[in-house]
Amino acid sequence: MQTSEMTQTTADASEDLPLLRVSSATKYYGDRIGCKDVNFELYPGEVLAIVGESGSGKTTLLNCLSTRLAPTSGVIEYRNRQGAMRNLYQMSEAERRMLMRTDWGFVHQHASDGLRMSVSAGANVGERLMAVGARHYGDIRSTAIDWLDRVEIAEDRIDDDPRAFSGGMRQRLQIARNLVTNPRLVFMDEPTGGLDVSVQARLLDLIRGLVSDLGLSVIIVTHDLAVARLLSDRTLVMRRGHVIETGLTDQVLDDPQEAYTQLLVSSILQP
Amino acid sequence: MTEQTYDNFADHYNFAYLDEQTKRMIRRAILKAIAVPGYQVPFASREMPMPYGWGTGGVQVTAAIIGANDVLKMIDQGSDDTTNAVALRGFFVKTTGVEATTKTSEATIIQTRHRIPEEPLKANQTLVYQVPIPEPLRKLEPRETETRKMHALEEYGLMHVKLYEDIAKYGEIATTYAYPVLVNDRYVMDPSPIPKFDNPKMHEMEALQLFGAGREKRIYAVPPHTKVESLDFEDYPFEIQKFEEPCALCGAENVYLDEVILDDKGARMFVCSDSDFCEDRRENGHVGHMAANPITESENRGADA
Ligand SMILES: Nc1ncnc2c1ncn2[C@@H]1O[C@H](COP(=O)(O)OP(=O)(O)OP(=O)(O)O)[C@@H](O)[C@H]1O
Ligand SMILES: [Mg+2]
Ligand SMILES: [Zn+2]
């Protein structure tokens, strides 16, 4: 009782402060622009979609934000649980890696990049717990069962390895594996890409439910504007590495200002 | 440690085969390994006149530390008499002229493959392990760059993933050899393929423990009186192998036993894997239930049944 009240107070206190601040983030691959001069802030509980055509720089930006790819220039800051704003690229590698496996999640388009394919579903979910010191098998297992249930994977699949899972199940397992440490910020790169439409719809529903239940902050990359529409509060439109338009998702999609966004919206959303 | 050349048997060998510069290089690696218990120190492993599988890592470590006054014991799976043990002992006797022994208590250096002697080791002794694969994370993470980072940042969650998988699959931690340990509360280490029965002996051992991997070019160490903990879960605590019966020859309990098949009818007995320990006990009058004549006795018992 007391604990939850205290967490509540802390959350309230930092509610109006950004969780992530991106200032002039730029990444060049040689002379080629990956992304250039990107600026935005992400607030706690906010879902931000990054949209744009293939090659527009969405993945590059996401990787820069999540410390998987050092930007050529620019500053990316993250507010830690103590409330301090930290420059991600000035943190030690140990701190960054700790952040990545506790406070953050990363859901890859290809589940095999985000899962250990040769260990059981239970161990995939339990790994982060063990990485932060969980040493009670029974507890780890029951937490894993709990999370499998939340992503709609039957308990009796806990000892199967993900090679025996369908594409949709693998994505759901990947999500459970990430959420088990109660991260505050989750990065997703085309999490529904390559799945059947019906499987996509179910996964999107699940993600939407989890995001609102857990109050997650999410940055999701997608070229599918329907995904942005369904999940995100705000949308950032990229073209040739630049952010060309940004705003509330409904506004951007219903009333695009830039010609390029108008083109995107008309070609994809209209039948 | 000595600079002299032993030229009685073969004067074209330097003392202990390796040249002095190579020995100094290996000693520097050993000193570093002792300074950072459990940390794998890379070294420029040399070609030795024997195949890698024969324990060239252990041989190089022994060659680097052995002096004219040392007394050497060489064991292979607990025995002094296997081809491997006899050949390596012969190699050092020939290239150094040191005294060899099979008695654990008399040795100053014990080079071993897959066992720790039953008799507790003392401060004046050094145990040299032959190591095939030094990296405890290797089976779970094939990338060397990544395992190095995991050690540096103490990211050992993956070790427990392996133990978790054991319990999920077999209902218990099924790892019985090369059971991973945490050294000095810092580095996770592969103790080489000793049975997990021997793991507790590493903890706070009085003797210096040195590990050499020849093919993988790594040396690591556990200095005397160092904490060595076998990894486990709170609800699945580490346990050593238990044997139902004592040694059939010497009656010893709480020692590691090998199963010996006596005939093709399935007669078998369990005897000390540490052959010197067993002989010593028998010399001191200890008698196991099959000590007199194992073959006849088992046939008799078979006939009675
Ligand atoms: N490793 C790399 N080396 C060189 N150029 C790269 C590299 N990765 C991406 N690029 C280039 O950077 C630009 C942005 O690529 P990025 O992968 O970020 O786009 P994207 O929006 O994620 O595309 P997609 O929708 O196809 O995934 C492209 O021109 C791409 O060719
Ligand atoms: Mg991409
Ligand atoms: Zn015995």
pLDDT tens-digit readout, A253-269: 999 999 899 988 887 54
* Euclidean distance between CA atoms B22 and B193, whole angstroms: 27
Residue B304 has pLDDT above 70, yes or no: no
Question: Which ligand approaches the C-alpha of residue B251 most closely?
Answer: 3
pLDDT digits (tens, 9 = 90+) for A199-232: 999 999 999 999 999 999 999 999 899 999 999 9
- Asked if residue A26 lies in contact with residue A76, where contact means CB atoms within 8 angstroms, the answer is no
Among B196, B160, B201, which Cα is nearest to B178's? B196
Q: Phi/psi at B253 (nearest 5 deg)?
A: -110, 165
Q: How far is the CA of B39 from the centre of ligand 2 (A)?
A: 39
Q: Which of A101, A128, A130 sits opposite B164 (nearest CB)?
A: A130
Residue contact B164–A135, C-beta within 8 A: no
Integer Cα distance of A81 and A89 in angstroms: 18
Q: A248 to each of A208, A228, A240, A241, A245, how far by Cα in Å? A: 17, 11, 21, 20, 10
Ligand 3 centroid vs B150 CA: distance in angstroms?
42
CB contact under 8 A, A123 and B167: no
In this prediction, residues A175-187 reach a mean pLDDT of 96
**What ipTM is given for this predicted complex?**
0.88
DSSP string covering A176-207: HHHHTT--SEEEEESTTTTS-HHHHHHHHHHH
Per residue in B284-299, pLDDT tens? 999 999 876 544 444 4
Q: Of all helices (H) and strands (E), which one includes residue A9?
A: helix A2-14
User: What is the residue with the minimal CA distance to atom 5 of ligand 1?
Assistant: A29
pLDDT 10s digits, B81-127: 999 999 999 999 999 999 999 999 999 999 999 999 999 999 999 99
The crossing angle, in degrees rounded to 10, of helices B157-170 and A121-131 is 140
Could you tell me the pLDDT band of residue B51, with boundaries at 50, 70 and 90?
confident
Confidence (pLDDT) at B54: 84
Q: Taking CB atoms and an 8 Å cut-off, how many pairs form between chains A and B?
A: 53
pLDDT confidence bin for A8, thresholds 50/70/90: very low
Which atom, in ligand 1's list, is nearest to the CA of A221? 22
User: Using CA atoms, how far apart are residues B60 and B215, in angstroms rounded to an integer?
Assistant: 11
- Return the SS3 of B162: helix
d(CA A118, CA A99): 25
Helix axis angle, B157-170 to A137-150, nearest 10°:
90
The span from the first CA to the last CA of chain A, in angstroms, equals: 51
Distance, CA of A157 to CA of A155 (rounded, Å): 5
- What residues of A are in contact with residue B164 (Cβ under 8 Å)? 122-123, 126, 130, 137, 140
Which residues have any ligand 1 atom within 6 Å of their CB? A 29, 32, 34, 52, 54-60, 223
Ligand 1 atom index nearest CA of A52: 21
Q: Tell me how close the Cα of B61 comes to any Cα of chain A, in angstroms.
A: 33
- Tell me how crowded residue B41 is: count the other CB atoms within 10 A of its CB: 20
Nearest-by-CA chain A residue for B172: A137
* Residues with CB in 5 Å of ion ligand 2: A 59
Mean of pLDDT over chain A: 92
Determine which of A125, A128, A130 to mutate to test the interface with B (most B C-beta atoms within 10 Å).
Answer: A130
CB contact (8 A) between residue B235 and residue A137? yes
Give the closest-approach CA distance of A154 to chain B in angstroms. Answer: 16
Find the A252 Cα to ligand 3 centroid distance in Å: 82
Hey, whose CA ends up nearest to atom 10 of ligand 1?
A34
Closest residue in chain A to residue B156, using alpha carbons only? A131
Is A130 in Cβ contact with B168 (below 8 Å)? no
Q: What is the pTM of this model?
A: 0.85
Percent pLDDT > 70 in chain A is 93
What pLDDT band is residue A6 in, cutting at 50, 70 and 90? very low
Out of A60, A237, A243, give the residue to mutate to test ligand 1, the one with the largest number of ligand atoms within 8 Å of its CB: A60
Query: Residue A175 C-alpha to ligand 2 middle, in angstroms?
Result: 19
Residues of A whose CB is below 8 A from B155: 97, 131
pLDDT in tens, A113-146: 999 999 999 999 999 999 999 999 999 999 999 9
Q: Which residues of B are catalytically annotated?
A: 38, 247, 250, 272, 278
Residues of B in contact with A97 (CB under 8 A): 153, 155
Residue type, A43: Y
Q: How far is B158 from chain A (nearest CA, A)?
A: 7
What percent of chain A is modeled with pLDDT above 90? 86
Q: Which of B157, B165, B169 sits opposite A131 (nearest CB)?
A: B157
